[in-house]
Structure 1
Amino acid sequence: MATLWTGGKIYTMAQVGETVDAVLVEDGKIVATGSVESLSPLAASIQHLEGNIMYPGFVDSHLHIIGYGEKLKHLDVSAVTSKEALLVKLQERMAQASAHEWVIAIGLNENQFEEPVFPTLAELDALGDAHLIIKRSCHHLILANSKALAFAGITNRTPSPEGGVIDKVDGQLTGILKDAALYLIVNQMPHITPAYIEDALTKAVTSLQSYGLVGGHSEDLSYYGPPSQPIQAYRKIVEAQQSFKVHVLQHHTVFEEVAKMDLASSPFLEFGAMKIFIDGAFGGRTAALRQPYCDDSDNAGMLIHTTEQLTSYVQLARQYGQTVAVHAIGDLAIDTILDVFAAYPPQEGQLDRVIHCSLVDEELLAKLAALPVAVDMQPQFVQGEYQAELSRLGEERAQGLHPLKSLLDRGLIVAGGSDAPIEVPNPLHGIYAAVTRRNFEETHDGYNPHEKISRFEAVRLYTVGAAEIIGQQLMRGKIAEGFAADFTILQEDVFTVEMEQLPHIQVACTVVNGQIVYENR
């Protein structure tokens, strides 16, 4: 039984400004596009857009879906603007918690404070008896109270693990753990049960649908007990309900275990590239740089793995015919993994992907363009911490921060995501950031304005680009015959609305395989 979607502007995203009057959908696929007159005789029913604007379904190309659900479950401190206010908010929650419970706060950004300093371990311990961890907004650094540190067996004598830092001053713990060190606590917390995972996933999917997202590329399999636990949650919540499409990356630590499960993929749950973290982040000064940080001259960040280790991981992926997706933020990290990719390329027609790709120069841009590599960008990263990154990197290096236009101009496939829970997974926020390169309501010409892109190019990141980066450009990302009937329907036109209104456009409904999965009522 075919349904005709019409009654509003319908952008195909095949080329700039291209629209059609009507879309005929049957069994979850687009069977034809064209005029109402030609298609209505083929339809058993009509779905009227009521003047709203239809686009191919928006997809977030990089986020942590279960982790985003955790942020919805726990204490969000992303809006806190002083250490004192943070401590007050934490104490309110700690006062409600019993001694065996875990209080988790997510989204701390000390660069919003007048004085960008973290609470001391003594200040955290004074808040109450529960276990406490605070995840910095970058998720590459946490603060833990003494009870949480003791749970993980971390003492003043505990050495930093490979690829991580247990921070100490004069041999005493500060409560700060960076990169691999934070997993000593985060991956072991006792409340990570199947029911907890399913609840976080349910909350996340409901929220993502409300932002107009029809799917996301996620990485969750190494953080919630054995990988079978998050996989089972995805089977139960996502695949069974068939209301959201998830492409799962596989962390290198569980890649072979998952590969040997011989899991079947479906349109709603598919298993993709091996995921490797190459370095950390600018916030904790752990992103790997060719030259030291301007505000920490003895520190150039860190590579989490040696070149030999990276080579072995990439070779393992190739043995299974799989591509590799890497978190690489600093210029040294990007350069290092590109050399490994060049030595061990994927199969013909496949693309590896560099996630974040946050600091480049002309040499790195040329190396990227010469390889079968796509880039997974988070446009909102240019908003939140640009000024802090500028102080860490200096004016000259900062010219290569968070590229977009430079990548597109060199013919690279680029997709757009939020890295939620790090940023709000609203694709309209990302589109605004990509076009303006500034925070909401600011009036300057943008941070690195030479990297601004057009509205069409920005929307393409979340539609065509998100499909291209996983090799599905012939079935997703456009409104065209044979493509999936996944639609994002907005109340206003992204291409013509006043710019400052763009991030505030309301979602009318979200459609997956021809079925309305979210409706704004």
Structure 2
Amino acid sequence: MTTLFTGARIHGSSATAFAVTDGVLSWIGADYPGTPGDVVDLDGALVAPAFVDAHVHATAAGLLRTGLDLTAATRVSDVLDAVRDRAEPGALLWGHGWDETAWPENRPPTREELDTVAGGVPVYLSRIDVHSALVSSALVDLAPSARTAAGWSDTGPLARDAHHHVRRAARASIAPGQRRAAQHAFLRHAASMGVACVHECGGPDISGREDFDDLLTLDTGVEIVGYWGERGVRVPGARGLAGDLFVDGAFGSRTAALHEPYTDAPDTSGARYLDAEQIAAHLVACTETGTQAGFHVIGDAAVAEVVDGFRRAEKIVGERALVTARHRLEHLEMVTAEQADELARFGVVASVQPLFDAAWGGQDGMYARRLGARAAALNPFATLAAAGVTLAFGSDTPVTPVDPWATIRAAVHHRTPGSGIDETAAFAAHTSGGRAAARDPWTGELTVGAPATFAVWRDQTCLRTVRNGQTIHEVPLT
């Protein structure tokens, strides 16, 4: 059956109507020549390609919607009060989103403070960047190996390997039904934001194989492209061994790897988990098997290792093979123009998150507190685009929200003058860029013969999201 949509403002076209037949755009124009089976009047609403979110953590994002949301906390007492109100005996309390950098105390709660309000309940509260977490002693008791791991603290948040240990224990405490409910909640929300495809960036220290495999079996209408961040494994259903394969950590938790120490913590330069030789080995192994490789890379020392790794891999498999593989780099926040040129030569896709700059950029933001003058060079989208690096926009949710239009605005109005890109390029990065990042042969454009995957908007409110002709989100037209 053919459905005719009329009264539309079609992105990139002067046409006002289009038809969908068997999940494909079968006609675009002004006066439909046939007799459709159904007619939908869009009353002047904007029709645009559906967005792709190129970096998500579905279960954690869903748990933010169904669990304890700490993104609005403004002081230590906000966190403690929220835990006191939500802690239930016998059940893990999972929360996310605290960011102490703007709090009057300039610190998170201590473990002793958390234990006092938790009442013996296992509590896991990830920082906004998910590279460290506040945990109760009851949760540490479920992961005793954390006490001897790198990143352990007797009183404060856990980072690095200690964090990975307690996160695994927290994940193991989530019932399958709770996990499935969180996944569904996230995917429904993504569809309501005009997103028809998400790239799940899983890994052994992030979500676990059971979570990853379970997610890939879901059929909610939203396309799930899975990436698994681990070297030397075969993962059925994964598009590549990429996503959050950590070369380093994050600025907020002071685990992003730097050449020079942190401005506000001169005793540390972050953490580097992979070196150039290991990076090259992974690139070679994936290239030779036709698999996408990729890495989580943020700090300048980590970026330097990745670029060196690509150079070493080139000597083994050659430039052409690397370009064909279209390997990915997630975040890529601290990259120079020279490095961007080299990564473009290797055909790298940069999966980046403009809302990072909106949240933490500028002269008074967290980046400036952590890095001083170095912060002005972060997230240089214009530099990457000028070098020819393909940009794919995402949220890294639950780190930042799934909000494509806000993401586009953040990329255009970068808090460092000269680092932003224009609206056309930003829109492309959140649509066709995501398709390119997943090696999808469809560019995402609305043309005859293309998949009928689009979103309908009025004043940047999503009225309908359609994937391959199937409506996966709809609100009444008013």
- When normalised by structure 2's length, the TM-score is 0.91
The question of 1:467 aligning with 2:407 is answered no
Give the distance between the partners of 2:404 and 2:434, measured in 1 at CA.
Answer: 12
Give the structure 2 partner of residue 147 of structure 1. Answer: 138
Give the distance between the partners of 1:74 and 1:363, measured in 2 at CA.
Answer: 43
Shift of 1:414: 0.3
Give the structure 2 partner of residue 371 of structure 1. Answer: 346
Q: Please give the per-residue CA displacement for 1:427-470, whole angstroms capped at 9, x wherever unaligned.
A: 11101211223xxxxxxxxx202112222222111111111222
**Residues 310 and 476 of structure 1: is their aligned pair in 2 closer, same or farther, counting only changes over 3 Å?**
same
Q: Does structure 1 conserve the Cα–Cα contact (< 8 Å) formed by 2:62 and 2:182?
A: yes
The amino acid of 2:420's aligned partner reads: K
Deviates more, 1:146-155 or 1:379-388: 146-155
Give the distance between the partners of 1:517 and 1:31, measured in 2 at CA.
Answer: 20
The question of 1:214 aligning with 2:214 is answered no
Q: Structure 1: 5+ residue runs without aligned partners?
A: 13-17, 168-172, 264-269, 438-446, 493-504
Give the distance between the partners of 1:380 and 1:453, measured in 2 at CA.
Answer: 14
| Candidates 96, 121, 125, aligned match of 1:130 | 121
Q: Does structure 2 conserve the Cα–Cα contact (< 8 Å) formed by 1:329 and 1:357?
A: yes
Q: Map 1:425-444 onto structure 2 (within 5 A).
A: 425-437=402-414
The amino acid of 1:488's aligned partner reads: A
Q: Please give the per-residue CA displacement for 1:59-80, whole angstroms capped at 9, x wherever unaligned.
A: 1111111221111121001001
Q: Structure 2: 5+ residue runs without aligned partners?
A: 315-320
Give the distance between the partners of 2:313 and 2:355, measured in 1 at CA.
Answer: 32
Give the structure 1 partner of residue 182 of structure 2. Answer: 200
The amino acid of 2:408's aligned partner reads: I
Q: Does structure 2 conserve the Cα–Cα contact (< 8 Å) formed by 1:330 and 1:358?
A: yes
Q: Secondary structure at the match of 1:293?
A: coil
Q: Please give the per-residue CA displacement for 1:314-338, whole angstroms capped at 9, x wherever unaligned.
A: 3332343212121111111112112
Give the structure 2 partner of residue 519 of structure 1. Answer: 474
Q: Does structure 1 conserve the Cα–Cα contact (< 8 Å) formed by 2:354 and 2:411?
A: yes
**Residues 19 and 217 of structure 1: is their aligned pair in 2 closer, same or farther, counting only changes over 3 Å?**
farther
Q: Please give the per-residue CA displacement for 1:469-504, whole angstroms capped at 9, x wherever unaligned.
A: 2222x4241101222111111103xxxxxxxxxxxx
The amino acid of 1:317's aligned partner reads: C
- When normalised by structure 1's length, the TM-score is 0.84
Give the distance between the partners of 2:111 and 2:208, measured in 1 at CA.
Answer: 31
Give the distance between the partners of 2:35 and 2:394, measured in 1 at CA.
Answer: 37
Q: Secondary structure at the match of 2:53?
A: strand
Deviates more, 1:367-376 or 1:147-156: 147-156
Give the structure 1 partner of residue 3 of structure 2. Answer: 3
Give the distance between the partners of 1:197 and 1:406, measured in 2 at CA.
Answer: 40
**Residues 449 and 246 of structure 1: is their aligned pair in 2 closer, same or farther, counting only changes over 3 Å?**
same
Q: Does structure 2 conserve the Cα–Cα contact (< 8 Å) formed by 1:211 and 1:507?
A: yes
Q: Secondary structure at the match of 2:213?
A: helix
Q: Secondary structure at the match of 1:20?
A: coil
State the identity as a percent.
Answer: 26
Give the distance between the partners of 1:464 and 1:159, measured in 2 at CA.
Answer: 42
Give the distance between the partners of 2:424 and 2:286, measured in 1 at CA.
Answer: 35
The amino acid of 1:166's aligned partner reads: W
Q: Does structure 2 conserve the Cα–Cα contact (< 8 Å) formed by 1:66 and 1:220?
A: no
Q: Does structure 2 conserve the Cα–Cα contact (< 8 Å) formed by 1:145 and 1:175?
A: no
Q: Does structure 2 conserve the Cα–Cα contact (< 8 Å) formed by 1:197 and 1:224?
A: no
Q: Does structure 1 conserve the Cα–Cα contact (< 8 Å) formed by 2:149 and 2:162?
A: no
| Candidates 268, 285, 304, aligned match of 2:273 | 304
Give the distance between the partners of 1:226 and 1:112, measured in 2 at CA.
Answer: 32
The total of aligned residue pairs comes to 464
Give the distance between the partners of 1:145 and 1:85, measured in 2 at CA.
Answer: 16
Give the distance between the partners of 1:91 and 1:78, measured in 2 at CA.
Answer: 17
**Residues 337 and 224 of structure 1: is their aligned pair in 2 closer, same or farther, counting only changes over 3 Å?**
closer
The question of 1:21 aligning with 2:13 is answered no
The question of 1:278 aligning with 2:247 is answered yes
Q: Does structure 1 conserve the Cα–Cα contact (< 8 Å) formed by 2:242 and 2:328?
A: no
Give the structure 2 partner of residue 420 of structure 1. Answer: 397
Shift of 1:274: 2.7
Q: Map 1:106-505 onto structure 2 (within 5 A).
A: 106-127=96-117, 128-154=119-145, 158-160=148-150, 165-167=151-153, 173-189=154-170, 190-220=172-202, 222=204, 227-235=209-217, 237-238=218-219, 241=220, 243-252=221-230, 256-258=233-235, 261=236, 263=237, 271-275=239-243, 276-345=245-314, 346-347=321-322, 349-386=324-361, 387-395=365-373, 397-437=374-414, 447-472=415-440, 474-492=441-459, 505=460
**Residues 432 and 448 of structure 1: is their aligned pair in 2 closer, same or farther, counting only changes over 3 Å?**
same
Q: Does structure 1 conserve the Cα–Cα contact (< 8 Å) formed by 2:133 and 2:158?
A: yes
Shift of 1:311: 3.2
